[in-house]
Amino acid sequence: MAGSLAASPTFALTPTATKVTTTTNYISSFAFLNQYLPDLAEKEFARYGNRSIASFLRLVGAEMPTNSDLIKWSEEGRLHIKYTGLTPTAISSGTQLFTVASGVCSYRIGQTVFLSGTNGSAQKGIITTVTSTTFTVAYYDLTTGASDPFGSGTVTSFVYGSEFQKGSAGMVGTLEAQNSFYDNKPIIIKDNYSVTGSDMAQIGWVEVEYEGGAGYLWYLKSNGETRMRFDDVLEMSMVEGVPAIPSSAALAYLSPSTNNILGVAAAATTAAGTKGLFYEVNDRGNVWSGGNPTALQDWDQIIQRLDKQGAIQENAIFLNRQFSFDMNDMIAAQNGMGAGSTSYGLFDNEEKMALNLGFTGFKRGYDFYKTDWKYLNDATLRGDITAGGVNGILVPAGSTNVYDEVLGEKVSRPFLHVRYRASEREDRRYKSWVTGSAGGAATSDVDEMRVNYLSERALCVLGANNFFLFKA
């Protein structure tokens, strides 16, 4: 008979909050270990392997300092202007007026335009009048008595040139760059680990490995795990962060009046939260939902969308295990270079090699490199999440040019990077310090060693229109 996958293990997936040795403690998980039998010490077994997930941002991004509470940047808009959903009026003497669906009309008199209607008709003409929300077109190939070419449908238009009479003046008005302005605010992230002086002097029961080596001092293991957990939290905060909406409970809690030892009154503009990767791409980028793209036709839709955005040649896809399986199956189904097939170009066009590697990438118009993202598979994090689940994220590789408002100039920045608070006197990228009176520290009379961690940072997602979020 066919095998079946057993249910999830019944042991707890979260460590205890206590620092005593119990059968559920994540430091000492063996029931036979107790203080009366120290010679039964055993080497700790890492049953969950390397539990840290802090790798994503280091792979795809960079870290840069900032000395402000607000990070702002400007992204260039489209070079050309295209209007959709235009409403035409009845034609009159071969001319027709169109109303822009939203915003201000940026067309200018003398420009020539292409018009495409939802009724299947297409025309070309020259702009004769412009108001704040309308423009009038005189058609090239319609006589003054011609009927309305677009009827009751809507129209799409773009400028392809201009034409002027001999001896005429120049074009009236100029076209300013249509830049979009974005910002994000850093948040302060903290954690700590403490142990009493007495426990520091006690021999541990389990041999453990930690950053400094190996031994029986179990509190060092706990501190190492605290640091690992803090590293993960730094990354997850940048991925999962959301801004607090006005009048939210989180905003009220984080206001200076309720959570500031200086007792500073809350400002009306107090902001809490930060815009994480998922939030930014969902808000400003591309979203795929309703199941993983498992057919070439699905990826053709994605590629066509990329064509309409920045068209970044190389892209990295971080995905969960099932999404990875689906992509492998999709590419394995392609058996050559015929119609409807794809290229093994990333592997020197060797199909066998691509199969053996499990398809770490493929080329179809653009280069796509995929890697399993542990964060989306971890059972204690996003693994098995359905409601609000994420199956993967596509991140463009390389950098883009943006206008830095602080520097006052155009600069090259990675599409995805972290900005941390720093100055000549204070670097808050990753702070760690020890307080208490034990372990060599002498900052207070408290009989403990407390290791403190702090970081203040924000994520910058540049050109979010080039990102894809794959929802569960």
More confident: 23 or 130: 130
Question: What is the per-residue pLDDT for 8?
Answer: 46
Question: What is the per-residue pLDDT for 23?
Answer: 33
Closest by CA position to 294, among listed 332, 258, 260, 267 = 332
Question: What is the per-residue pLDDT for 357?
Answer: 39
* Predicted confidence (pLDDT) at residue 45 exceeds the cutoff of 90: no
What DSSP character marks residue 457?
A: E
Closest by CA position to 184, among listed 271, 126, 116 = 271
- Taking CA atoms, 1 is separated from 4, 5, 81, in Å, by 9, 13, 63
Q: Around 78, how many Cα atoms within 13 Å sit in the side-chain half-sphere? A: 10
Question: What is the per-residue pLDDT for 96?
Answer: 94
Once rounded to an integer, what is the mean pLDDT over residues 9-18?
Answer: 43
Question: What is the per-residue pLDDT for 207?
Answer: 55
Residue 68: band (very low, low, confident or very high) from pLDDT cuts 50, 70, 90:
confident
* Predicted confidence (pLDDT) at residue 352 exceeds the cutoff of 70: no
Least confident of 38-47, 271-280, 423-432: 38-47
Domain residue ranges of the chain, discontinuous segments joined by +: 24-77+179-241+276-472, 82-164
* Predicted confidence (pLDDT) at residue 195 exceeds the cutoff of 60: yes
Q: With the C-alpha atoms ordered 320, 371, 61, 415, is the resulting torsion angle positive or negative?
A: negative
Q: With the C-alpha atoms ordered 377, 379, 384, 387, is the resulting torsion angle positive or negative?
A: negative
* pLDDT tens profile 206-256: 555 555 665 544 445 677 778 888 888 899 899 999 998 888 888 877 776
Asked whether the beta carbons of 114 and 122 are under 8 A apart, the reply is yes
Q: What percent of the chain has pLDDT over 90?
A: 25
Once rounded to an integer, what is the mean pLDDT over residues 295-314?
Answer: 87
Residue 356: band (very low, low, confident or very high) from pLDDT cuts 50, 70, 90:
very low
Question: What is the per-residue pLDDT for 3?
Answer: 54
* Predicted confidence (pLDDT) at residue 379 exceeds the cutoff of 70: yes
Task: Report the range out of 124-128, 365-369, 415-419 with the highest average pLDDT.
Answer: 124-128
Residue 24: band (very low, low, confident or very high) from pLDDT cuts 50, 70, 90:
very low
Residues 6+ apart with CB under 8 A from 441: 434, 435, 449, 450
Asked whether the beta carbons of 369 and 361 are under 8 A apart, the reply is yes
Q: Convert 381-439 into a string of H (helix), E (strand) and C (coil).
A: CCCCCCCCCEEEEEEECCEEEEEECCCCEEEEEECEEEEEEECCCCECCCEEEEEECCC
What size, in residues, is the chain? 472
Residue 123: band (very low, low, confident or very high) from pLDDT cuts 50, 70, 90:
very high
* pLDDT tens profile 97-116: 999 988 788 899 999 999 99
| pTM reported for the whole predicted model | 0.74
Least confident of 49-53, 111-115, 121-125, 412-416: 49-53
Asked whether the beta carbons of 387 and 426 are under 8 A apart, the reply is no
Residue 426: band (very low, low, confident or very high) from pLDDT cuts 50, 70, 90:
very high
Once rounded to an integer, what is the mean pLDDT over residues 132-138?
Answer: 94
CATH code given to domain 82-164: 2.40.30.230
Asked whether the beta carbons of 56 and 416 are under 8 A apart, the reply is no
Give the pair of three-digit tokens for residue 94: 């071969």
Task: Return d(Cα 137, Cα 97) in angstroms, integer.
Answer: 6
Q: Which amino acid is at 121?
A: S
- DSSP string for 46-112: -TT-----TTHHHHH--EEEE-SS-EEEEE---SS-EEEEEEE---BTTEEEEE-SSS-----TTEE
Average pLDDT, the chain: 76
* Predicted confidence (pLDDT) at residue 423 exceeds the cutoff of 60: yes
Give the pair of three-digit tokens for residue 180: 């979009």
Backbone angles phi, psi at 198, to 5 degrees: -65, -45
